[in-house]
Amino acid sequence: MSTITIKVPDIGDFDKVEVIEVLVTAGETVNVEDSLITVESDKASMEIPSPQAGIIKSVSVQVGDNVSEGSNLLELEVIESSIDKTTTTESPVAEEQASKAFTETLNMQADSYDGEADQHAQVLVLGAGPGGYTAAFRAADLGKKVILVEKYDSLGGVCLNVGCIPSKALLHVAEVLEEAKEFTDLGVVFNQPEIDINKLRKHKNNVVGKLTGGLKQLAKQRKVTVVNGYGKFTSSHSIEVAAADGSKQVISFDNCIVSVGSSVFKLPFIPWDDKRVWDSTDALEVNTIPERLLIVGAGIIGLEMATVYHALGSKITIVGPELLPGVDRDLIRSFGRTLTKRYENIFVKAHLTGVTASDEGLICEFEGGKAPQQDTFDNVLVAVGRTPNGNLVDAEKAGLLVDDNGFINVDTQMRTNVDHIYAIGDVVGQPMLAHKATHEAKIAAEVIAGYKRHFDARTIPSVAYTSPEVAWCGKTEEELKAEGTEYEKGLFPWAASGRALSMGSEMGTTKVLYDKNSHQMLGAGIVGKNAGELIAEATLAIEMGAEIEDVALTIHPHPTLSETINFATEVAEGSCTDIYAPKK
């Protein structure tokens, strides 16, 4: 047996790198390619693999040491059978191989484009929604030359322009209008509100404008080049961008992040050319307040728009298979009760089968549930889901696989089937939410910059900003049952919360689900005011693997709605004194 010294290989332009992990100890047996040490520069981290199988004799470094090219890392007693006789038995060759791999990782020089290009990016980001701009900014912060391609002048994608932000600007107004009505029962009567939809639209546009303008500024500060136009792949290392004025340019890239998002799903049998038929983008324009509005689809977007238009004065009918599909049914029972009182009709287990435009209105036909065969509405909002845009970028020219639904498959590092092309956000799968897109964006940018990052979140919270709000994370009771997990639950009715009562929110509910054996929190759901803010605590608990006792024993401020999470966990463990719920 011979002993070799494993040294820090050629580290390119870097004088020193830091040891951030020592993955082996003296006496341990390792195989060829097993990772030994992780080192990190300010740009990248890399594991140094073992060139040969053997037994670690000694380790010369520890976490925190700064090492340079040639520094000794460890002594390895080589097991002869592992030596590749067809190449060499000498360690310098293996060292050279390791060195080459390391330098390649640090410099991240992927194969480059050999055609003519107008511009070159180390990282090209296609689409400037929350996924795209976050990825572009993070990559730039990590020292990359970034080009961000966006078809619209305004950055921010669906979320900032026609999604999360404009809807929340309107929902805030809706909330105030609803609260003002509720105050009548408390002895405070406001005059009937006068709604100026032009001012309301202006307010919403101002909010959007401030945020999208801010993004342009942030791109400038980071020296991210923004190219406006529609981008399509022309090869695995280039895209062509067609601008609105007809001009075209080719941009070559080392790495690409595809963040082209999703588009409204258009039901085929609807007369879309009739201005009275809306998708969510039209509804956010608040051009008119219909007397009777039909909302097709009872998911988050449909129900949020119902909240807005009801508050503005419309009579709302909702049709769809179920209210908030995929949400814990205990929450939906409580939520559904409030909605039934408020809206003209809610037809679940029903669907729209046809729409005919007439002078009197849009004549709608239905099937299923308790829906009538026919009814006439002033406007119809179709909110039945969104389609990913993966099929619209000539992905095949880059060798990129897109599934039949338009989604691009990625691994936990957001890498597609093409090594240097990544994808994030709505285009990679459900849930189509902005905070999922931004989380994935950072992973993609950091992986490109050489960091060892993976998507390993335990849960992605969801919020319907309806009135009342509904928020949830982790598993639902139905899911736990279906997968056969032994679980327990704690449910706290807000009617017993002093804070909820004083805010007129006693119909709320907080529910926690946890593993019967480990007591780890597995899921949570909240219906009630500010549920969207409150759910973060349960999300953190699930992410940290907290047990329900951890939450139950955490002192929560009184009187707050956050106590309801505390109380639900107390109900679960039988220690709640705010309601009578002895442990069975």
Ligand X SMILES: Cc1cc2nc3c(=O)[nH]c(=O)nc-3n(C[C@H](O)[C@H](O)[C@H](O)COP(=O)(O)OP(=O)(O)OC[C@H]3O[C@@H](n4cnc5c(N)ncnc54)[C@H](O)[C@@H]3O)c2cc1C
CA distance 138 to 224: 10
Task: Check the CA dihedral 335-336-337-342 and report its sign.
Answer: positive
Name the minimum Å distance from CB 169 to ligand X: 11
8-state DSSP, 15: S
| CB-nearer residue toward ligand X: 114 or 411 | 411
- Nearer residue to ligand X within complex by CB, 433 or 507: 433
Question: Would you name the residues annotated as active-site residues?
Answer: 558
Residue 360 has a CB neighbour count (10 Å cut-off) of: 8
The distance of closest approach from Cβ of residue 302 to ligand X in the complex, given in angstroms and rounded to an integer, is 9
Q: Are 541 and 519 in contact (CB under 8 A)?
A: no
Secondary structure of residue 549 in the 3-state scheme = helix
Angstrom CA distances, 356 to 26, 121, 287, 359, stand at: 78, 50, 22, 10
Report the distance separating Cα 32 and Cα 52, nearest Å.
Answer: 4
Q: In whole angstroms, how close is the CB of 249 to ligand X at the nearest point?
A: 13
**In the complex with ligand X, which residue's Cβ is closer, 59 or 257?**
257
Sign, CA dihedral 523-528-532-536, equals negative
| Residues that bind ligand X in the complex, under the rule CB under 6 A | 126-132, 149-152, 157-159, 163-164, 167, 230-231, 259-262, 280, 301, 389, 393, 425-426, 432-435, 437
Least Å from the CB of residue 239 to ligand X? 8
Taking the least distance from each CB to ligand X, the nearer of 163 and 525 is 163
Q: Which is nearer to ligand X, 311 or 552 (CB)?
A: 311
Provide the CA 547 distance to its chain's centre, in angstroms. 25
Calpha distance 114→14 (Å, rounded): 28
* Structure tokens given for 8: 């820090």
Residue number with CB closer to ligand X (36 or 445): 445
Strand-pair partners of 509? 493, 527
Do residues 280 and 148 make contact, with C-beta atoms less than 8 angstroms apart? no
Question: What phi, psi does 278 have (nearest 5°)?
Answer: -115, 150
Structure tokens at 79: 């097991």
Instruction: Give the pairing type, strands 292-296 and 29-30.
Output: unpaired
In the complex with ligand X, which residue's Cβ is closer, 49 or 461?
461
CB of 11 to ligand X, least distance (A): 35
Residue 424 CB, nearest distance to ligand X (Å)?
A: 6
Q: How far is the CB of 286 from ligand X (least distance, A)?
A: 13
**H or E stretch at 435:** helix 434-448
Token readout for 387 is 């389609």
| In 494-532, beta strands by DSSP E | 509-515, 521-527
Distance, in Å, from the CA atom of 189 to the CA atom of 182, rounded to the nearest integer, reads: 9
CA distance 48 to 25: 15
